[in-house]
Structure 1
């Protein structure tokens, strides 16, 4: 073989290798943000771009996928937690945008299909959050509560972006109950938002809350939410405890009918020992507890083990057994702020009430009205006033 023939053969071999390399590059991913391909050829990988890429992508942004040629048919964005970001393809088929935002500290994989049957992949990871916000939900999951129980969410850290958070809190009911969110500072000093029906719940109502907060920034000083939350509960029978402070009686009503009427003695009027008026909601049934006066700012007035204790406010107002005060039952208000009854009567009320039952306290012998954040005192606001507390107007 001549020198010129060998040169021509070597050149053809090198050119063939170069072509093979070019095909391989065309078929492979170009990296975290893009996938290269021969658009328009059936089954070929389309060329896509993703707005988020790398190992420190910015959290709190929707995922946007664009195609260079052709149209997007479907896009799947999966995360390392086993979840998926839903989204929509634009009308012209050129882009796809996720409904939710990318959460911090999460790895995502993207798979896009075009209208020619081709597919491309990409991946990215968002940076870790500087601070994580968490929350506490009331009522607890799969519980049954009374007709006055609101949904209540208390946050570990401040929530500056209240509207953004409220938009992700979805309440559904079995009977289209009308209600509204309202923001306040909890008695503990933390940010809190409650969902209250316009009127007391109807018995048997099924209620669900989906707090789809993963990827939401709560604002300066609050940090990111890095998970979703949910709770489901049922409304029990219709019960109202009517507390007449002036006539010293507690009457338990069920379905509008009285089922128990007992004498009681409430807080001594004229000072800090007086009871609250207005509607309180039974927060918890705590049984036998130690009550100490210094915990409610009354010095060393008492230190007692108290039976049948039913908490009404965070400030320390209870309904409970108070046998030491029996001389005043049905006659005068002589307690240190609580609604006291005989052992027998308190035990009966304790057995029959449920968490979430309203205690409607009326009369002049009171020191004021229960505040919205002192337990669940939002029922003391008109519906119009309550609605103004929503961050969504």
Structure 2
């Protein structure tokens, strides 16, 4: 059957013409960038959003501040977060046309960017995008002390951060370091150049730690420029506990030391210290124990002494970076308690060295007093933070009123 003819004066309906949808212009970066879907404006054209560095380049390098800019309207809200959910702070400018981060971006980090925008007609749209910043060409790394997570240490142990490369912007680095305690311990950062020539910053309490204190370090250094375009590429955390108060009082004149626990004398131990001359006498001062090294080889050539010795020494307790130890000295047993006759170390009998070594922990202070031709050790010879009185130590911070 033939189809019925169309009524006179009517034409068959035509297919509707497709109308292209309007989409916002997402930022195109020279780095890795992925655009997400954006909702169309409720009325009028959507605001176009682009990303780049605050210096005007599209490429966001390590240390650049991020810029989000709008065309065809203004920005209402910008939220930038890193993979850990931490927000990159920033603010709007130029009448809402631009948002600029208040801090530099971190190297090699993927940021998520969420934008709310409004056009001239009052229509709104949302844009979501992500970008990954370039890796830094030069990096700086750190070494933390105490070196073991969750360690129990002595009452004189500082929180210490040593840097592989020089830190020329010390204030910028120090702002990203935070020490917390469970009892509100008062302390301050102080910068030193250690005996190896490396920059180091230590946080020491005003007085010896209270036993049992829980201490935490948070170093939010990822993306921080330590100076000269050398960046940190990660954050660091450290937690440790202060043990019982163990103070070793060393009297060079009496040639006896006392081991004191929680303010009470536990044991008196005779020793023989360094010969009373400019080359061998034992340094005085307060020395937090740096390490328990057990049996080690001691060679005079490594510490610049002219008289040759090369011995395997047991119960070695390191006090200075330059090589001062308390240790067993059986070859000098007849001098212990009578004559200072060593090359600068604190020599003990085997039995007393065994006992002391079993008791001490890293961070316990050895308080060395008495007559010494060489006098007080330099503050950078080990953890010499306690060689400096509190008011002078506070001045070593790169920031005012550090606490």
**Range class of TM-score, shorter chain:** 0.7 to 0.9
Quote the residue 2:174 is aligned against: 166
Is this contact kept in 2: 1:168–1:211, CA < 8 A?
yes
- Unpaired runs of at least 5, structure 1: 1-8
For residue 322 of structure 2, the aligned residue among 301, 311, 315 is: 315
Is this contact kept in 2: 1:86–1:100, CA < 8 A?
no
Quote the residue 1:297 is aligned against: 304
Following superposition, the deviation at residue 60 of structure 1 comes to 1.6
* TM-score normalised per structure 2: 0.84
Following superposition, the deviation at residue 365 of structure 1 comes to 3.0
Equivalent residue of 2:139, what SS? Answer: coil
For residue 110 of structure 1, the aligned residue among 97, 109, 113 is: 113
Quote the residue 2:345 is aligned against: 338
Residues 161/88 of structure 1: CA separation in 2 closer, same or farther (3 Å cut): closer
Is it true that 1:198 corresponds to 2:201 in the alignment?
A: no
Distance in 2, matches of 1:112 and 1:346, equals 67
Is it true that 1:217 corresponds to 2:222 in the alignment?
A: no
Equivalent residue of 1:346, what SS? Answer: helix
Is this contact kept in 1: 2:27–2:52, CA < 8 A?
no
Equivalent residue of 1:386, what SS? Answer: helix
Matches within 5 A, 1:68-79: 68-69=73-74, 71-72=76-77, 75-78=79-82
Aligned residues: 372
Is this contact kept in 1: 2:80–2:114, CA < 8 A?
yes
Quote the residue 1:372 is aligned against: 379
Is this contact kept in 2: 1:292–1:303, CA < 8 A?
yes
* TM-score normalised per structure 1: 0.86
Residues 346/45 of structure 1: CA separation in 2 closer, same or farther (3 Å cut): farther
For residue 152 of structure 1, the aligned residue among 160, 164, 184 is: 160
Residues 307/120 of structure 1: CA separation in 2 closer, same or farther (3 Å cut): same
Residues 175/277 of structure 1: CA separation in 2 closer, same or farther (3 Å cut): same
Residues 302/70 of structure 1: CA separation in 2 closer, same or farther (3 Å cut): closer
Quote the residue 2:60 is aligned against: 57
Deviations 1:88-112 (A, max 9, x none): 5759995766564311233433122
Is this contact kept in 2: 1:37–1:46, CA < 8 A?
no
Equivalent residue of 1:351, what SS? Answer: helix
Quote the residue 1:6 is aligned against: none
Quote the residue 2:191 is aligned against: 183
Is this contact kept in 2: 1:144–1:233, CA < 8 A?
yes
Quote the residue 1:137 is aligned against: 144
Is this contact kept in 2: 1:86–1:99, CA < 8 A?
no
Distance in 1, matches of 2:224 and 2:91, equals 24
Following superposition, the deviation at residue 217 of structure 1 comes to 0.9
Is it true that 1:26 corresponds to 2:17 in the alignment?
A: no
Equivalent residue of 1:389, what SS? Answer: coil
RMSD: 3.0
For residue 392 of structure 1, the aligned residue among 376, 392, 399 is: 399
Is this contact kept in 1: 2:107–2:135, CA < 8 A?
yes
Is this contact kept in 1: 2:246–2:261, CA < 8 A?
yes
Moved more, 290-299 or 51-60: 51-60
Distance in 1, matches of 2:272 and 2:253, equals 10
Matches within 5 A, 1:43-54: 47-52=48-53
For residue 280 of structure 2, the aligned residue among 269, 273, 281 is: 273
Residues 243/30 of structure 1: CA separation in 2 closer, same or farther (3 Å cut): closer
Following superposition, the deviation at residue 330 of structure 1 comes to 1.2
Following superposition, the deviation at residue 288 of structure 1 comes to 0.7
Distance in 1, matches of 2:197 and 2:90, equals 44
Following superposition, the deviation at residue 76 of structure 1 comes to 4.0
Deviations 1:110-137 (A, max 9, x none): 1224699852123333333221111110
Following superposition, the deviation at residue 186 of structure 1 comes to 1.2
Residues 208/98 of structure 1: CA separation in 2 closer, same or farther (3 Å cut): farther
Moved more, 116-125 or 152-161: 116-125
Following superposition, the deviation at residue 270 of structure 1 comes to 1.6
Moved more, 224-233 or 291-300: 291-300
Is this contact kept in 2: 1:63–1:98, CA < 8 A?
yes
- Unpaired runs of at least 5, structure 2: 1-12
